[in-house]
Structure 1
Amino acid sequence: MKTFFSALCRAAMVLFLLTGQVVAYEITEQKTPDGYDFTYVHMPKANRTAVSIAWVGGYGFLSSRKENIEELGPILMINGGAGGLSPDEVVARFNAIDSGARLYLDDDALRGFIVAPAKDLGEASTIANKVLAEPTFDPRWLKRFQRNYVENVRGYSKTPKGQAWLSLRNITVGNHPLRQVWNGTPTQNISSITIDDVSDWYARTVTTDGLEIAVAGDAKPTAVAEAIDTALRALPSQNAREDLPPLQMHYPAKTILIHRPEAEKSFILIGGPIPPSYSVDYEALQLATGVLGVSDQSRLFTAVRKELRASYGFSAHFSDFTRANGMLYMQGEVETAKLQKALETVQRTYETFRTVGVGMVEFPFAHRIFKNRVRSNMDKPDTIAHLLTEAQLTGRSSSSGLQYLERVEGLSRAEVNAAILRHFPKFDDMVKIVVSPDRDAVKADCVISAFSDAADCR
C-alpha cells in the first residue's frame, strides 16, 4: 500500500509563519483504492483529522416553490436518523469517539465534513456512510423540521432586523430562486415539501461523481483513503445536479422606510456590492471592514454608539451571496428619536473612511489583530481542509488556498487603502433600509409597511 501511494503522490510545499516559527505543510495529491482523488495536508502536531467532501453542482433542478429543500434535505439527513439508528443514536455514536459530521448546501455544492481523531477516523466514516447512504427520511422528522423552520422565519419577520433583511433580499435578488432559499417566504412553500421531494433531491445529489475532496490532519494517507472509500460506499455513481441561473443583484440607490408602528426601536441596514471572497484584494478588504465596523473600537461603533449615543452597537461586515456576488453591509438597532441623525452620522463616517482609508495609527493595531486571528486558526485541520476545498471550488491551486496567512502578513496600509477606494461603493449608491415605528423619522424615497411590499421600491 505504501508503494501504491508513493507512486501517486505529487508534492508541493507551502510555508507558513505560525506563532513565530516556520512550519512546513506538505500538500500531496492522493488517490483512494476505489479511485477517488483527494488533496491531503499532513499536520503531525494535530490531534484529529478533517475530511471535507464537496458534491459540486447546484440545485437548479428543484421545481419552483420547492427551493427550501436545500435547507431541509441536509438537516433531515444529518439529524433524522440513518442506517437503523435513531437521531440520538447517531449523535451518541459520534460523541463516543469524540468525532462529528456536518452536512450543508451552498449554491454551488453540497458540503460535508467528518472530523475525528486519527485512530477513530475509520469508525467515524462508517457512521457517516450510514448518514450518506442510508438516511431514514422519516416523514415525522420532516414535519418537525418544517415546523421549526416556519416558526423561525415567522418569528424573524416580526423583528425590525428581520424586516430589514427580508426586504433587502427581496429588493436585491428579485425573482431569482435564491430569494425563496434565503428568505423562506412564503412559508407555505416550506410546508409543502414532501418526503418524495426530499428523496428526489437526495437521489440527484448524493452520488460519487463530481466530487472535490480535501483532507488535513494527523492521520496517515492510507488510513484517510480507506476512510473516504468507507464514507462513500454504496452511493450511486451518476448525479443529476444542475446549476441555478446566474444571479445579478440589484442595488437601487434609495432610502426605503418600512413603517412598523409596533416596533420598540428602529433598525438601519445599508448594503452595496463588493468583490466576492477570494477575489483580488480579498484580505485587504477583510482588514478594512474590520476597522470600519467589526469591533467596539471600530469607526462606526465609535461614531454611532460612543459619540452620538444612538445605539448599543453599529457594525459593518461583508459576505458572499453567491460566488459572484459579494455584499458590504452596515447595520444596527438605533434609537428612533435619533434615527435621521444616526443615518447622517453613518454616511459621514463611511464616506470619510472610504476616501481617506485606514489611519497611520490604526493600521498596525488592526493588522496585528488580523494576523493573530488568522494564525490561531491555521493549525486547525478543519480550517485547512476548508481552505483547500474553497480553492478547489473557486478554481485556484491548493497552494494558493493555503497562502492565506502569507497574504495577510504581507498587507500594507497603502494596499488596503487603495482597495477601499477601488472597491467600497459610494454611500449614495447603496440601498438604505430603515425600519421604524415613526413614519416620518427619515427622509425616504419609498415607504412601505412590510418586506412583502419591497419589490415596489426596486
Structure 2
Amino acid sequence: MLILFVKAEAFKDDVDQIGANLLMDYIGANQGSEMFRIVRQEMRAAYDPRSDFVVMNKNQAILSLSATVEAERWPEVHTKIREIYETSRAGGIERTGLKIQHDQLNRIYFNRFFSDPVWGAQFYLTEHPTGADGTITFPLFEALEAVSLDKIVAKSEEHLPPLDDFLLILIGGGIAPAEALKSNGYCSLPKNTPLSFCLDALSNVQS
C-alpha cells in the first residue's frame, strides 16, 4: 500500500519557506529524519519512508509525505506518520537533528546552484522572473544563511499546515479507510480511471 500525503502551499516570505523546508526535511527527507528513524528502523515498516519539498515558484512548493508498506499495516503506519508530523508541528523537535538538516540543505542549495546550470538558471528565474538590474540578490539563500533554528521551532505551527489540509492518497490493498478518515472528503477511484476523477469529485464537494 502506498500512503501519500500531498499539498500545494504558498508561503508569506522566504523565511517562512525555509522554515517549512527544514521542518519537512526533519520529518522525513533522509536517513537522519524522524520518519526514517521510526518508520524504517524502529517499526521496520517501510524501506524508504520520506518527505519531499518541491519548490514550484517564488514562495510556492509541493509538500508531501509518503511510505510504501505491507497492506495490512497501512493504518498503523498512517497513524505513526501523522504522529510524527503533528509532534514536529507542535514544536517537539530535537535541535541537533534540525541543525543537521539545516547544514545539509545549505550544502544542497549552494552545490546545486554552482554545479547544476539548469537548476541554477531555474532558481534565478524563480527569484527574478523579469530579470535584474545591478547587484543580483537571492533572498532565499540569505534567509537560509540567517535563519534561527530556535525561531523555526517556536513558529513550527505557523510554518507547517495542518495535516488534515493535505490530500491523502492510498494506492494498493488492505482494509478500507475508517469512517473518521472518510468524513473529511473521500473518493474511491474505480479501476483504470485517472486520478483526475477523484480530484474533480473532491473539488466539487469542497466547493
> 1:343 maps to what in 2?
78
Give the SS at the match of 1:399. coil
Cα shift at 1:370: 2.3
Q: Contact 2:8–2:60 (CA<8 Å) still a contact in 1?
A: yes
> 1:329 maps to what in 2?
64
Between the aligned partners of 2:137 and 2:156, the Cα distance in structure 1 is 23
- The question of 1:400 aligning with 2:137 is answered yes
TM-score (structure 2 length as normaliser)? 0.76
Cα shift at 1:325: 5.1
| Structure 1 segments of 4+ aligned residues over 6 angstroms from their partners | 394-397
> 1:21 maps to what in 2?
none
- The question of 1:431 aligning with 2:167 is answered yes
Give the SS at the match of 1:370. helix
Between the aligned partners of 1:456 and 1:377, the Cα distance in structure 2 is 39
Q: CA 1:331 to 1:391, structure 2 compared with 1: closer, same or farther past 3 Å?
A: same
Quote the RMSD (CA, aligned, Å).
3.0
- Alignment-mate amino acid for residue 288 of structure 1: L
> 2:4 maps to what in 1?
269
- Alignment-mate amino acid for residue 329 of structure 1: S
Q: Contact 2:17–2:59 (CA<8 Å) still a contact in 1?
A: no
Residue range with higher mean Cα deviation, 410-419 or 318-327: 318-327
CA deviation string 1:96-154 (max 9, x = no partner): xxxxxxxxxxxxxxxxxxxxxxxxxxxxxxxxxxxxxxxxxxxxxxxxxxxxxxxxxxx
TM-score (structure 1 length as normaliser)? 0.37
Cα shift at 1:340: 0.6
Between the aligned partners of 1:423 and 1:396, the Cα distance in structure 2 is 29
> 1:420 maps to what in 2?
156
2:49 to 314, 338, 343: 314
From the two aligned structures, give the one with the greater helix fraction. Answer: 2
Q: CA 1:271 to 1:379, structure 2 compared with 1: closer, same or farther past 3 Å?
A: closer
Equivalent residue pairs, number? 191
Cα shift at 1:362: 1.4
Q: Percent identity?
A: 20
Q: CA 1:408 to 1:325, structure 2 compared with 1: closer, same or farther past 3 Å?
A: closer
Higher relative contact order, chain-length normalized (CA < 8 Å, sep 6+): 2
Q: Contact 1:268–1:332 (CA<8 Å) still a contact in 2?
A: yes
Between the aligned partners of 2:125 and 2:202, the Cα distance in structure 1 is 39
Q: CA 1:416 to 1:394, structure 2 compared with 1: closer, same or farther past 3 Å?
A: farther
- Alignment-mate amino acid for residue 393 of structure 1: P
- Alignment-mate amino acid for residue 129 of structure 2: L
- The question of 1:448 aligning with 2:189 is answered yes
Q: CA 1:385 to 1:278, structure 2 compared with 1: closer, same or farther past 3 Å?
A: farther
Unpaired runs of 5+ in structure 1?
A: 1-265
Map 1:58-457 onto structure 2 (within 5 A). Answer: 266-275=1-10, 279-320=14-55, 326-380=61-115, 382=117, 384-393=120-129, 399-401=136-138, 403-438=139-174, 440-443=175-178, 444-445=181-182, 446=186, 447-450=188-191, 451=195, 453-454=197-198, 455-457=200-202
Q: Contact 2:52–2:63 (CA<8 Å) still a contact in 1?
A: yes
Give the SS at the match of 1:270. strand
CA deviation string 1:351-375 (max 9, x = no partner): 0011115322213322222223333
Unpaired runs of 5+ in structure 2?
A: none
Q: CA 1:299 to 1:396, structure 2 compared with 1: closer, same or farther past 3 Å?
A: farther
Between the aligned partners of 1:351 and 1:343, the Cα distance in structure 2 is 12
Q: Contact 2:2–2:66 (CA<8 Å) still a contact in 1?
A: yes
Cα shift at 1:299: 1.0
- Alignment-mate amino acid for residue 400 of structure 1: T
CA deviation string 1:326-377 (max 9, x = no partner): 3311112111010110110111111001111532221332222222333334
Q: Contact 2:23–2:98 (CA<8 Å) still a contact in 1?
A: no
